[in-house]
Chains A and B, each alone.
Chain A
Amino acid sequence: MSKKPILQAVGLTKSYGRVVALDGSDLELFPGEVLAVVGDNGAGKSTMIKCLSGAEVADEGQIIVDGQQVSFKRPQDGRHAGIETVYQTLAVAPALDIASNLFLGREMRKKGPLGSVFRMIDSSGMRKAAKEHIAALGIGTIQNITQAVETLSGGQRQAVAVARAAAFGQKVIILDEPTAALGVRESRQVLKLIESLRDRGMPVILISHNMPQVFEVADRIQVQRLGKRAAVVTPKSHSMNDVVAIMTGAMTVDKKDQALTSVR
């Protein structure tokens, strides 16, 4: 197999003042795969995906999308490149309703002169589409699409953020702990969603602390430690205990034993 990565990071470095959050980390995401990124708290996982999505600008290193080097300056840049992200902080506007949040930053315009001249947004169209996206996710506890997001539970908010990414992701979907606040049933739904995204050929980066979930859906597992990539393994080649050992530095994996290329 010699697939080319669809998204690649080389030597990403990012410091916040004296804190080196990311210390020359690499990452390759191959077409159609689910890449899990695991690591201790503060290992730099969120910082890395923020650099990949344009929410942060890396101090050093390159980001390559489809073989082309890019320089993302703002979250819009990542979005335009087809990379859709669910951030750990969710990034939803609490006072706005579910439909407005789903379409925030890319509102649908009304057809005809109402849209082109008066720039009116198509509220009913967006509500209808939002309903479909939420339904597609199979999270039935959201009853009313015009509800303000702040009236939702933490898990429901997470569902809205995931639905937004799933609806608009063109090339890559990045999920930073998408099941952290979810109940058992809702977690299952998100895992099923990840699998169906992969079946559609959409590559996914999944950050999670939940090892059983990671081992269930991931094709490859990238272990971050102290801002660096410690190893990339697969659920077949290594056990959960191995991965935890790599995370804590108790175990190292030889380069030749790592899963640095596509396994699908």
Chain B
Amino acid sequence: MSQDTATYDAAAEFQDRASISQKAQALLHKYPWLSSTMVLVVASIIFSFFNENFLTPSNFSLILQQVAIVGAVAAGQTLIILTAGIDLSCGAIAVFSSMTMAKLVQGTPGEGEPVGIAIWLAFPAGLLVGMLGGAINGFLVTKVKLPPFIVTLGTFNVFLALTLTLTKGTVPSIEMDPFLLTLGHYVNLGPFRVTTGVLFMFAMYMVLAFVLRYTSWGRHVYAVGDDIDAARLAGISVNRVLMSVYMVAGLTFALAAWIVIGRVTVASPNTGGDLNLDAITAVVIGGTSLFGGRGTIFGSLIGAIIVGVFRNGLTLAGVDLYYQLLAIGLLIIFAVSVDQWIRKARK
């Protein structure tokens, strides 16, 4: 027994001798969201020096509203990236879902009065389209065994084409169904004034965080992204997990589409252009590893807010749009470098 204790002490001492950088590495390794949270705090403090309006409830409410859509898409994207996949079609799925909902409600204008279908049919149909889009991606990844990058690059174009075919290039901008506009309403929360879309996005994060952390499915998502062969040998139905991840992600993209409609009050085929890359940016800045198995869902929320804070803060500081792009680009490279550095420590 005393000998065992001696071994432990020696081991503890051995660990104490680790350098500061090794300790930092270990800490970031354990809490992948830590570096992004630090970036958020530091950036907010710096921006507040340049413009006194930056650190105000009304400005933060504005940032949150700008972030809601990307944040919601990033939530689904996180699931996919955790499995070591990627979805380049997320924005296209979101737009296609929103167009489906809008078109079904509105009906096809042309001869006579357009006849739309009831919202309680159109809305689920839109969500179903999102899940179906995810299912197509999942099928191609698991059954046809194509790399997710290629699959979703292809389906991105397919969903975009379908959207344009559906709208024939026009924007259905007539008055939308009130239910579809639900997420555009404002609510006051103390000094903050945000849209219900922001709250809805937060709720999505809560649900996904719960599922990832407290259910077997969540563990299996991490395990599959961590080491797919080990997961399979451990008795996990790897393909079923991947398929469900792509479908749940598709659903979150469709729900993000609902926020889109509430925000812009029209369903436009052009809203989703930057959404694909913005969502991936948020996930990566949030500390989730592109190699899978490592990261947290709340990290992506922080990542999305960081992007919003940088855009807003730099604008308020009077920085040119070009330099804003530059800043976001550097941020991405920084985030991926940190991830590589952390991973190297453990190989």
> Which A residues are closer than 8 A to B by beta carbons?
55, 74-76, 79, 85, 87, 89-96, 100-101, 104-107, 109, 118-121, 123, 140-141, 143, 148, 150-151
User: Contact: A76 with B237, CB < 8 Å?
Assistant: yes
Q: Contacting chain A: which of B42-50, B225-233, B327-335?
A: B225-233
Known: A76-B237, A91-B234, A106-B235. A96 touches B223 (CB 8 A): yes
User: Contact: B235 with A75, CB < 8 Å?
Assistant: yes
Q: What CA separation (Å) do A91 and B236 show in the bound complex?
A: 12
Q: Contacting chain A: which of B4-12, B142-150, B249-257, B275-283?
A: B4-12
Q: What CA separation (Å) do A74 and B219 show in the bound complex?
A: 20
Known: A75-B234, A75-B235, A105-B236. A93 touches B346 (CB 8 A): no
Q: What CA separation (Å) do A119 and B4 show in the bound complex?
A: 40
Q: Separation in Å of the A130 CB from the closest CB of chain B? A: 14
User: Contact: B227 with A94, CB < 8 Å?
Assistant: yes
Chain A residue, CB-CB nearest to B4 = A140
Contact with A120, one of B214, B223, B231 (Cβ below 8 angstroms): B214
Q: What CA separation (Å) do A148 and B29 show in the bound complex?
A: 10
Residues on B with C-beta less than 8 A from A141 are 7, 11
- Decide if the interface of chain A is mainly helix, strand, loop or mixed: loop
User: Contact: A104 with B219, CB < 8 Å?
Assistant: yes
Number of inter-chain CB pairs below 8 Å: 88
Interface centre among A89, A96, A101, by most chain B C-beta atoms within 10 angstroms, is: A96
User: Contact: A104 with B226, CB < 8 Å?
Assistant: no
Q: What CA separation (Å) do A237 and B332 show in the bound complex?
A: 67
Q: List 8 A-B contacts (CB under 8 A).
A: A74-B235, A76-B237, A92-B230, A93-B231, A96-B219, A104-B219, A121-B215, A148-B30
Chain A residue, CB-CB nearest to B12 = A143
Contact with B226, one of A85, A96, A118 (Cβ below 8 angstroms): A96
Chain A residue, CB-CB nearest to B30 = A148
Q: What CA separation (Å) do A150 and B222 show in the bound complex?
A: 14
Q: Which 7 A-B pairs have the closest CB atoms?
A: A105-B235, A91-B233, A107-B216, A104-B234, A93-B226, A91-B230, A93-B223
User: Contact: B233 with A75, CB < 8 Å?
Assistant: yes
Residues on B with C-beta less than 8 A from A104 are 219-220, 223, 231, 234-236
Q: Separation in Å of the B74 CB from the closest CB of chain A? A: 21
> Which B residues are closer than 8 A to A by beta carbons?
4, 7-8, 11, 29-30, 214-217, 219-220, 222-223, 226-227, 229-237, 293-294, 346
Contact with A143, one of B11, B30, B214, B229 (Cβ below 8 angstroms): B11
Q: What CA separation (Å) do A107 and B237 show in the bound complex?
A: 14
Residues on A with C-beta less than 8 A from B233 are 55, 75, 85, 87, 89, 91
Interface centre among B30, B229, B231, B294, by most chain A C-beta atoms within 10 angstroms, is: B231
Chain A residue, CB-CB nearest to B233 = A91
Q: Separation in Å of the A77 CB from the closest CB of chain B? A: 9
Interface centre among A79, A121, A141, by most chain B C-beta atoms within 10 angstroms, is: A121
User: Contact: B214 with A121, CB < 8 Å?
Assistant: yes
Residues on A with C-beta less than 8 A from B30 are 148
Q: Separation in Å of the B2 CB from the closest CB of chain A? A: 13
Q: What CA separation (Å) do A91 and B237 show in the bound complex?
A: 14
User: Contact: A95 with B293, CB < 8 Å?
Assistant: yes
Q: Separation in Å of the B121 CB from the closest CB of chain A? A: 29
Chain B residue, CB-CB nearest to A55 = B233
Q: Separation in Å of the B217 CB from the closest CB of chain A? A: 8
Extra A-B contacts (16), CB below 8 Å, given A87-B233, A106-B235, A119-B215: A55-B233, A75-B232, A75-B235, A89-B230, A90-B230, A91-B227, A91-B229, A91-B233, A93-B223, A93-B226, A93-B227, A100-B219, A104-B236, A105-B220, A109-B216, A148-B30
Q: What CA separation (Å) do A79 and B230 show in the bound complex?
A: 14
Q: Separation in Å of the A33 CB from the closest CB of chain B? A: 25
Residues on A with C-beta less than 8 A from B226 are 93-96
User: Contact: B215 with A76, CB < 8 Å?
Assistant: no
Residues on B with C-beta less than 8 A from A106 are 235
Q: What CA separation (Å) do A239 and B30 show in the bound complex?
A: 51
Interface centre among A55, A94, A101, by most chain B C-beta atoms within 10 angstroms, is: A94
Known: A104-B223, A119-B215, A120-B215. A93 touches B234 (CB 8 A): yes
Q: Separation in Å of the A159 CB from the closest CB of chain B? A: 15
Contact with A121, one of B8, B216, B229 (Cβ below 8 angstroms): B216
Residues on B with C-beta less than 8 A from A107 are 216, 219
